[in-house]
Every structure is written in C-alpha cells, then in structure tokens.
Copies of this chain bind each other. A is one copy, B any other.
Amino acid sequence: MSEVFVNGLVCKNPKDIKPEDFFFPGLDKAGDTSKNPGSNVTLVNVEKIAGLNTLRISLARIDFAPNGGLNPPHTHPRATEILTVMEGTLYVGFVTSAPDFKLFSKVLNKGDVFVFPKGLIHFQFNIGAVPAVAFAGLSSQNPGLVTVAKAVFGSNPPISDDVLAKAFQLDKKTVDWLQAQFSN
C-alpha cells in the first residue's frame, strides 16, 4: 500500500505507532551561543516529533550568551509564543502593528512569563552577565521563523537595493554593505 499523508507529512499506520513518535530527547542541553548574535533556538516541532501532526503546538528552548546574547527581531507567521525564563535576565519586547507601532517591553527574571502575539516582531536580549535560558510554547506544529534583518538584507536572491535603500532611508552603499553582511 502507498503512504498516507496528512498536511503533506507521512501519516503512519496506527498499528505501527510507538511511544517514540511522541518523544524527543535532549532539551536539557544548552545550544551553542558562540556565534553572532549570541543565541540558539532548539525547536521541537513536527519535524522532530511526528506525533505533533495536526496538534497545533510546539516547544522551544532558547539559550543566550552572557552580556548581550540576542534572539534578534523576528516573527512567527503561524504562532503566538509564551516564554518563561529559566536562568538569567532578559530584556524582551514586541511591537504592535500600524498605526501605533507601540513597543511592549519588559525585563524578565527567572520565573517570569511573557507573551508574544502571533505575527508580531519581537526579540529577547540577555542583559545579564551570565548565560540565560528560556523555554517557550508556540501555538503551531510548525510556527515558522522570519528573522527580520536576514529576510530583508540576506534573502536569496537579494531584494533590489533600490527597494531597501528607499524603505530604510539608507544610501545604497550602506544597503550593499548590509546585504554583504547578511548574505549566506
């Protein structure tokens, strides 16, 4: 018999399903935060746990380097995020949509919880001198990640620098320099 797909993912024969299809190990391991901008996201989504298919949730661990480890401004096109700090001190925030573009920000310590609504630009920044760790639930089996600086200045192929110069009110030389920074 040919394979059955749901949501474009292989759907196992119920007789062959095992506890392992609902399991993923290793979220106690810190991600590598040595590379710029100093954060690392370990996302447990439907690619990691096949049994999450159709169940609208995933889980993430986020590690931050001390003194400025940054999860840079980004959106999740398909998920709200609810995050709690395990270790360290994070300055976090999100920006509302037009016309207000209000920043809702907060310094979070261990045990604090914060919500980043679906589709809005948000960030987390380690303002402490020690590594920080956060865990987050996300309201999709496949939240998606749009890192703003990379999507805008590092897409493949690049967006025309005419567009970016005008959008960011930068001269083309600066845009080209930014594009060189964010390419691959």
Contact = CB atoms under 8 A, between A and B. Distances in A.
A82 interface: yes
Nearest to A81: B57
Given A123-B163, A146-B75, A111 B28 contact: yes
A12 to B, nearest CB: 10
Given A98-B146, A167-B123, A113 B25 contact: yes
Interface residues of A, number: 109
B112 A77 contact: no
Contacts of A55: 80, 115, 117-118, 139
Interface of A: 2-8, 11, 14, 17-20, 22-29, 36-38, 44, 49, 51-52, 55-59, 61, 68, 70, 72-73, 75-82, 84, 86, 91, 93-95, 97-98, 100-106, 110-121, 123, 125, 135-139, 144-160, 162-164, 166-170, 174, 178, 181-182
